[in-house]
Chains A and B, each alone.
Chain A
Amino acid sequence: MDKKYDNRAWFMVLPVVLLVAFSALVPLMTVVNYSVQDTFGNNVFFWAGTDWFEDVLLSDRFHDALWRQFLFSGIILAIEVPLGIAVALAMPRKGWLVPVCLVTMALPLLIPWNVVGTIWQVFARPDIGLLGYFLNNVLGMSFNYTLNPLHAWITVIVMDVWHWTSLVVLLCYAGLQSIPDAYYQAARIDGASKWAIFRHIQLPKLHRVLLIAVLLRFMDSFMIYTEPFVVTGGGPGSATTFLSIDLVKMAIGQFDLGRAAAFSIVYFLIILLVSWAFYTVMTGKTKDSQ
């Protein structure tokens, strides 16, 4: 049968095109616009080519922030994903404890990010914070996240784990709940150990939700701004200055719009690239076996 083609049908997608244009493309283009121009004031701009990009990509400042960012995302993924799976496995599968656990787990996710920052900023302070005071005066350690870079890192990472592990837990829990009982029954009949059940039933069935969890946690942690900014302000020195904190300093603190715009685009491309890499690696494995 011959299909009739009518190119007027393309008008049907026009509303979406307009919406996406105004919500994403136009703002993005403004940034692109800044990234290839320079100005000496008076709102007069001139073409700068790829100067800003070269400048950003070759600067130590960017390299350092990028390295810190990868380290941060790597550490929190390495902690939150296994921890999230473990907690989800330990949660009850039925009974009145289920809603209690779920609500408790969801709580940290409901707190605004700057509030999370504030909570930990106070909680970890050596003078008045419960945690900081306890570490210093009861355990006799000298813990001070405003002076010691390692302590600042520990604080920021523990804060992120506290805030976001729940997301991994909830995703994994949903994945576990969707495994039919027959699988567990068959495993019991087959005499499978707890580890074998995890390795051969639960983990393969969690594959999809874990993909989502890893992608979400990577993207979110790679873009993290509010919490470390509230707790450490990027310090001490620039020890916890991650990409977004550095970007804001550059764009708003120094009003260096050209360089910041180039920085933004590079930043965006890195997130896109790494997410794509994760996705390809994690889905590629299943395609082989099908």
Chain B
Amino acid sequence: MARIELSRLAHSYRPNPSGPADYALKEFDLTWDDGGAYALLGPSGCGKTTLLNIISGLLAASHGRVLFDGEDVTRLPPEARNIAQVFQFPVVYDSMTVRDNLAFPLKNRGVPADEIDRRVKEMAEMLEMTADLHKKAQGLTADAKQKISLGRGLVRADVNAILFDEPLTVIDPHLKWLLRSQLKHLHRRFAHTMIYVTHDQTEALTFADKVVVMYEGEVVQVGTPEELFQRPAHTFVGYFIGSPGMNVLPCRVDGAQATVGEHVVRLRGGYRALPQGAKTEIGVRPEFVTLSRGEGLPIQVERVDDTGRFRVVKARLDGLAFNALIPEGAEIPADGVRASFDPQATNLYVDDHLWPAEGEA
């Protein structure tokens, strides 16, 4: 178990990167606390797997350093880093039995036989594969193979960190939920540092204490699920987290109020000294929108989807797509609908990045 620090880390797959576009990972600093459960969230191709492979040592970063408990491991191979990693697609050793597969990482490290036996049994129980231990891995289903891969990742007790690269992609939904709670349980019991890559926000938010959101090779926010929801640091986070995502509306800002089109929106604090010529937008989550005939911004309702617990109103505001979440039973006016926002939950974005109000950090 270890604290993992990434210091001025960047990576380019090209030998001589010139512009930012050549970098798969743009320079950043990040610390993963010992024993933390992290999710690494982002769309496909944003650099999640690259980052994971740099931490595990499968890939040597082109720039910057990786430190485990303060010790520089940037140039160490994976076997010297004592790290476990589970991949997106199942990797099993076909010629071995399930038991030998699970024992393999332990055998390679010279763990005593009785200890191996104990841990393999424990792991098989957790994965509900005790009855399959003697079977050859080759004939098993994709589900079972991926469970073995997970088991091989989790079987070592003393690892510095366990990395999961979208490990549940091939697993059916019910089992997915089961395995995820098992992982959570294991994390509470052994307090390994766990990093879990996914592009599924539900998976990220249920697994992790802290979520690292990546977008186009950049780490755009690190925070608790709560923080990601309340104060998305980047318009992408607002859009990516939550369903439907945050409404982002272009505006002009004047002190404590913003003007969207012709209409004035109250903000939670004053804003001064905004950069000249920058793109300014307000972001408000559909959860904090109220609809009425009274005051607010006029919208044209296009569709109302009833999910059972609340209703999703899909509308247009000055031609832009706009969503609102309305509690079950609340009234939606038939015409002349206006939307107003909770000022506390209305964020200002300057060039896509969250801009603090005066007095905020």
Contacts and interface: CB of A to CB of B under 8 A. Distances in A.
A189 interface: yes
B170 to A, nearest CB: 12
Given A185-B85, A200-B96, A290-B138, A191 B108 contact: yes
Given A200-B95, A204-B94, A186 B149 contact: yes
B79 A200 contact: no
Contact of B95 (A186, A190, A204, A290): A204
A45 interface: no
A55 to B, nearest CB: 48
A289 B83 contact: no
Nearest to A186: B91
A185 B108 contact: no
Contacts of A188: 57-58, 77-79
B85 A189 contact: yes
A192 interface: yes
A183 interface: yes
A182 interface: yes
Given A190-B104, A192-B108, A200-B95, A185 B139 contact: no
Nearest to B104: A190
B109 interface: yes
Interface string A265-290: 00000000000000000000010011
A193 B96 contact: no
Contacts of A185: 53, 58, 78, 85, 87, 91
Contacts of A286: 138
Nearest to B80: A191
Contacts of B104: 190, 192, 196, 200
Most interface-central of B83, B104, B138, B149 (chain A CB within 10 A):
B104
B105 A190 contact: yes
A201 interface: yes
A193 B79 CA distance: 10
A189 B136 contact: no
Contacts of B53: 185
B85 A201 contact: no
B161 to A, nearest CB: 11
A200 B93 contact: yes
Contacts of A191: 79, 105, 108-109
Given A201-B93, A289-B136, A189 B108 contact: no
Nearest to A286: B138
Contact of B78 (A180, A189, A290): A189
Contacts of A199: 95
B84 interface: yes
B89 A182 contact: yes
Contacts of B152: 186, 190
A289 B84 contact: no
A209 B195 CA distance: 39
Nearest to A185: B58
A183 B101 CA distance: 13
Interface string A180-221: 101101101111110010011101110000000000000000
Contacts of A289: 136, 138-139
Nearest to A288: B136
Nearest to A193: B108
Interface in B65-99: 77-79, 83-85, 87-89, 91, 93-96
B347 interface: no
A180 B108 CA distance: 22
B56 A190 contact: no
A212 to B, nearest CB: 19
Interface in B87-128: 87-89, 91, 93-96, 104-105, 108-109
A290 B94 CA distance: 10
Contact of B56 (A183, A189, A192): A189
A287 to B, nearest CB: 10
Nearest to A181: B58
A242 B361 CA distance: 90
A182 B87 contact: yes
Contacts of B85: 185-186, 189
Nearest to B77: A188
A189 B109 contact: no
Nearest to A189: B85
A286 B57 CA distance: 35
Contacts of A189: 56, 58, 78-79, 83-85, 105, 153
A146 to B, nearest CB: 48
A193 B152 CA distance: 16
B138 A182 contact: no
Nearest to B78: A188
A203 B105 CA distance: 19
Contacts of B139: 289-290
B155 to A, nearest CB: 10
Which 5 pairs show the lowest CB-CB distances between chains A and B? A186-B91, A191-B108, A289-B136, A190-B105, A204-B95
Given A189-B78, A191-B79, 13 more contacts: A185-B85, A185-B87, A185-B91, A186-B149, A189-B83, A190-B104, A191-B105, A191-B109, A196-B108, A204-B95, A286-B138, A289-B138, A290-B139
25 contacts: A182-B89, A185-B53, A185-B85, A186-B85, A186-B91, A186-B149, A186-B152, A188-B58, A188-B79, A189-B56, A189-B78, A189-B83, A189-B84, A189-B153, A190-B104, A191-B108, A191-B109, A192-B108, A193-B108, A199-B95, A200-B96, A201-B93, A289-B138, A290-B136, A290-B139
